[in-house]
Amino acid sequence: MGAAPSAVPTGNAGEMAAGLARLASIRKQAEELISKFQHGTEPYKVTLQIINSLSKIAPPSADIAGVQKADAQSQLAQMQKSGMQDMLQRNLSPGGGSAGGGAPSAGGPGPPAPAMPPALAA
């Protein structure tokens, strides 16, 4: 009379494909990185193990160009976003910004926040 086990959630096929594409991307990065280490050193051995392990679950033959392109675009967008945030943080922090001390822009520190539509404001 024990409780029935709860259902184990199953993964979304699209998320699984995206995850495998990310692993393939990591494998490629490791393949590029291994040349930076001297053969036989501990970092070389660990990187080789990582490549071998990832090749079993995300082999180069399973690479899908469209998924890889989307993953690369997503990573680029994230890097650009974080770079912009860093730049804004530096410019908005005390002592940051331009060294010339020119007049501030007419719009102030940034664009105004968009107003919430009346239907959602209530």
pLDDT at residue number 102: 47
In DSSP notation, 68-111 reads HHHHHHHHHHHHHHHHHHHHHHHHHSTT-S-TT--PPPTTTTSP
Predicted local distance difference test score (pLDDT) of residue 1:
53
Looking up tokens 């053969």, which residue turns up?
39
Reading the chain (122 residues) residue by residue, the pLDDT tens digits are: 556 666 666 778 888 888 888 899 899 999 999 999 999 999 999 999 999 999 998 888 765 566 556 666 777 777 777 776 777 677 776 665 554 444 545 555 555 555 555 555 54
Question: What's the CA gap between 79 and 82, in Å, rounded?
Answer: 5
- What is the structure's pLDDT at 80? 77
The reported pTM is 0.46
34 contacts 52 by C-beta, under 8 angstroms: no
